[in-house]
Amino acid sequence: MSVVKDVFGKTKTGEKVYKYTMENAGGMKVSCIDYGAVIVNIITPDANGVMKDVVLGFDDVAGYEENAPFFGAFIGRHANRIGGASFTIKGITYNLEKNEGDNNLHSGTPDYHKVMYSTECDEGEGYSSVSFMRLSPDMEQGYPGNLKIKVTYKLTDENELYIIYDAVSDKDTVVNFTNHTYFNLDGEDSGTICDHTVQLNASFFTPTGKDLIPTGELLPVSGTPLDFTVEKRVGLSIDDDYEPLKYGKGYDHNFVLDKDLRVFAKAGEAKGTTGRTMEIYTDLPGMQFYSGNNIGTVENAKGGKTYRSRAGMCFETQYFPNSCNIQTFPSSVLMAGEKFHSETMYKFSK
């Protein structure tokens, strides 16, 4: 297996951006760029062997510099929402950017998917990988600690895409990385994902208020439109008269995975209508299933196409939203000198 490096373009400030493309023995390709450590393409076959790009995105750097929906984005230092845009560690309160009402969403400026990274490529028997590295300085985005970050994308001959996160800080901080890639398993140009099916290994979810901040409860999905314990068409119940769906304008919920913390296990799977299947594995305790309700209208997408609401869906493996402020949730606090390591894997088949 190999990694091919090409010029992808330049940023507004003139920095050259490179695209790194991995290709496995079966012809599956994954491309990512050193601007934002963003995933820009995943090209994989359907049941008839037709190769299509199954992730939403753009053809140029300018698109990713804007990128309001977070297409393909590496998210940190803390993914998802933090209530009141603040948290406290050992009696010290840290204030964050209020970028969603009074709360913080996906950490804020500078966004991790809008900065440059250094790179390392690796190739071995049955795999290739690209790693992106950066130092997030003390108090960047309001978070304490100089955080050394490494995110690795690894493609195997078994059509597995691993996302491997590593970090270490010199101060106590919080770390909750995720990836915000939007998947449409019929191809990124195929309309909505409402006819896809999804199954999640999650018997509970974390309910929220109208501000989408968790209440601290864990509620069973049984008997609700959030029950994906058995495979179900995404569009079947997405607009039901159910308060959590109204808050999220569809699916935008953290699911509590049926497994122990730090155990790498299957979280669920999604299927398109043309025979592509994607299984999700992770060692993290939760996963945000987001049905792309707030994409809006994106007119400068790949190939000059326009994306609209629910054109793609995200499976964001994570610690629970606001976990740094809710003691009953698995903690996203990383102590000084402690090594953070987590792995998520998307496995594609037909």
- 148, with CB counted inside 10 A (0-12, 13-18, 19+), is middle
Q: pTM higher than 0.85, yes or no?
A: yes
At residue 1, the pLDDT reads 76
Q: Is 316 a catalytic residue?
A: yes
Q: What is the pLDDT along the chain (350 residues), one digit of tens a residue?
A: 789 999 999 999 999 999 999 999 999 999 999 999 999 999 999 989 999 999 999 999 999 999 999 999 999 999 999 999 999 999 999 999 999 999 999 999 999 999 999 999 999 999 999 999 999 999 999 999 999 999 999 999 999 999 999 999 999 999 999 999 999 999 999 999 999 999 999 999 999 999 999 999 999 999 999 999 999 999 999 999 999 999 999 999 999 999 999 999 999 999 999 999 999 999 999 999 999 999 999 999 999 999 999 999 999 999 999 999 999 999 999 999 999 999 999 999 98
Residue from 78, 106, 113, 180 carrying the catalytic annotation? 180
| Three-state SS at 159 | coil
Structure tokens at 315: 């499976």
CATH number, domain at 307?
A: 2.70.98.10
Q: What is the rounded distance in angstroms from the CA atom of residue 209 to the CA atom of residue 73?
A: 26
Pair 41, 29: CB distance under 8 Å: yes
Q: Computed from CA positions of residues 95, 100, 101, 103, in that sequence, does the dihedral angle turn out positive or negative? A: negative
- 258, with CB counted inside 10 A (0-12, 13-18, 19+), is middle
- The residue whose two tokens read 């359907």 is 46
How many folded domains does the chain comprise? 1
- Outline where DSSP puts E strands in 175-223: 178-179, 197-200, 204-205, 219-220
Query: The domain containing residue 27 runs over which residues?
Result: 2-349
Q: Is 78 a catalytic residue?
A: no
Residue from 140, 188, 269, 316 carrying the catalytic annotation? 316
